[in-house]
Amino acid sequence: MTGRARHENVAGSKEIHGVIVVDKPAGCTSFDVVRRVRKALKVRKLGHTGTLDPLATGVLPLCLNEATKAAAFLAGDDKEYRAVMELGVATDTQDITGAVVMRRDPRGITRSDVEAAAQSFLGTIRQKVPRYSAAKYRGRPYYWWTRQGAGIDTPEKEVTIYEIEIESFSFPSATFRVLCSKGTYIRALCDDIGERLGCGAVLTGLRRTRSGAFREEDALSLDSVAVAADSTLVRNMVIPLKNLMGEYTAVPVDRDSAKKIRDGRQPTRGFFEGAVFPEVQRGELVRLTAEDDEIVAVARVLLSPKEYAGAGDTEQVLRLVRVFNGEH
């Protein structure tokens, strides 16, 4: 996300809409960060796009006010992490905060062994959801059930490891970079690598360096947001709604159509009379944009380009998924 995109936000406005990227410190939960920033910025609505464990640091995008409606679209983005794991030990939480359940001498394991084990997890894999996780079962997180002593077997989920690279190896610890799909548990990955090596491994440090388009260089420290919330610096770091979800094709609408959409009317062919409708495929998500590229809605395409060309003015061509009320 570029500085130019950030500075298009209007500094000093009474109500902020957009995303601010916080560098989450270790030792607090993602909800702790949300609570502090909400209080500091005095925003009505605030949410994040993906939980980080208390152990983890790094990129935590926070959606402010109207931008909370975009959180679901941003949460699906790929993530990049830098992780440190220690060989020869396993814990019940799969990270260093848990109780040790196994120790095994890792001597003899080389950097090449660790690289080969890590590379074996490239691609789409099945990963078991950790027993100590925020994923829910019957309305409660798995960590709650585990602490109650319930012997619930957690499910497996499909995730993708796009890249994994051992950056350094200082026995018995290895630092690696991983690019992965949303929902990947890095501590579970460390546990799997340790099992593959036959000695166990546990996550000892984790930093999220990227979440979709949001990078660590975009991030403000939590203290700077909390202490200088009303400063021009903080407000200018808010990425406005119109600069989000750029991966979706933009479909311009005029002022009259924008009002109809915000009133709940489903878009028909007539909404785009006289406009150049982009060639998008049935099933794709698109951004409906008004003047100054303001986001009006996210919608799903119902017709193929050929079907659209032959549609009548009253035929519905898009199905609204999320409507935005503007940033004013």
Tell me, letter by letter, the H, E, C secondary structure of 55-68.
Answer: CCEEEEEEEEHHHH
The closest alpha carbon to 29, from 11, 8, 53, belongs to 53
Q: Let me know if 154 is exposed, middle or buried by CB neighbors in 10 A (0-12, 13-18, 19+).
A: middle
Q: Let me know if 168 is exposed, middle or buried by CB neighbors in 10 A (0-12, 13-18, 19+).
A: exposed
Question: Token pair for residue 108?
Answer: 């003899």
Nearest 5 degrees, angle CA 256-CA 284-CA 69?
60
Q: Let me know if 190 is exposed, middle or buried by CB neighbors in 10 A (0-12, 13-18, 19+).
A: buried
Q: What is the rounded radius of gyration, in angstroms, for the C-alpha atoms of the chain? A: 23
The answer to whether residues 250 and 297 touch, using CB atoms and an 8 Å cutoff, is no
Helix (H, G, I), strand (E, B) or coil at 222: helix
What is the dihedral sign for C-alpha 107, 87, 131, 75? negative
Catalytic residue, from 53, 95, 191, 192: name it: 53
The answer to whether residues 289 and 242 touch, using CB atoms and an 8 Å cutoff, is yes
* 292 annotated active-site: no
Which residues have a catalytic role annotated?
Answer: 53
